[in-house]
Amino acid sequence: MNFIGEDNILEVNRVNMAFGGLMALSHLSFKVKRGMIKAVIGPNGAGKTTLFNIITGSFPPTEGSIIFKGMPVEHLKAHKIAHRGISRTFQTVELFDNMTVLENVMLGCHTRIRTSFLASGLRLPMARKKEAQIREKAMKILKFIGLAEKFKDPADSLPLGEQKILEIGRALAGDPDLICLDEPAAGLNETETYVASSLIRAINAKGITVLLVEHDMKVIMNISDEIVVLNYGQKIAEGSPDQIQNNARVIEAYLGSG
């Protein structure tokens, strides 16, 4: 483990989330240390994506708090949470198919770069300067994620593995301190999964904390520092990959005895 400091960048405190009479999350608490890769696993319907939606501001929890860098964020709008330093990807790739690879990453930059509506509309010098800065930054990100040579390609022309990498690149464009990756290896072949795992490690090596939801247990066990296991919206285990692999409740609920 190579954590940048031992302080907690994220704290989930006794979070409940109810949809009608259904409790999607129940009294969920855990912490994420700055600089770690922490995974959240569990069967389908365990509440993993609901958790991500709460952390990133899609909706507030019914009860409980989300503390990010020491400040509560559970009732902030998604764009304000993004501006504070949390970005995410989605289970289903959500790119702008009618835009190029470069343009998709440039859109991600706008969560942190401000230019007035009037200046942008009139293409004033300040706006043109910002646009050039965004383009340069987006190209650096594309080089980092290995897609620089495809910067002019339509986003929907990429294979699934590269679309997922591009979505991660767009999330990086917001300069996050914490990036939430929702099943980045889903639907990928072995080679694409290796590329995605390597990129996640490289992102973490830059000092970005990673919160990861993934069903590919090989990925989880290979790259995670700590793992939280959910079942029916409740935490049933938390610990290192070795501890989770040998936890009887986890084996029964998720990993399987075989």
Do residue 81 and residue 192 come from a single domain?
yes
Give me the number of domains the chain comprises.
2
Specify burial of residue 241 (Cβ count, 10 A radius: 0-12, 13-18, 19+). Answer: middle
- pLDDT confidence of residue 49: 93
Q: Dump pLDDT digits (tens) for 180-199.
A: 999 999 999 999 999 999 99
Query: Could you list the residue range(s) of the whole structural domain that residue 11 is in?
Result: 1-85+178-199+208-258
Query: What is the CATH classification number for the domain harbouring 35?
Result: 3.40.50.300
> Alpha-carbon distance 8 to 220, whole Å?
21
Do residue 120 and residue 233 come from a single domain?
no
Do residue 137 and residue 168 come from a single domain?
yes
Do residue 6 and residue 43 come from a single domain?
yes
- pLDDT confidence of residue 5: 46
Do residue 186 and residue 256 come from a single domain?
yes
Do residue 27 and residue 148 come from a single domain?
no
Q: Dump pLDDT digits (tens) for 226-249.
A: 999 999 999 999 999 999 999 998
Do residue 37 and residue 98 come from a single domain?
no
Do residue 136 and residue 167 come from a single domain?
yes
Helix (H) or strand (E) holding 256: none
Do residue 169 and residue 188 come from a single domain?
no
pLDDT less than 70: residues of the chain: 1-6, 110-127, 254-258
Among candidate residues 180, 201, 222, the one with its CA nearest the CA of residue 56: 180
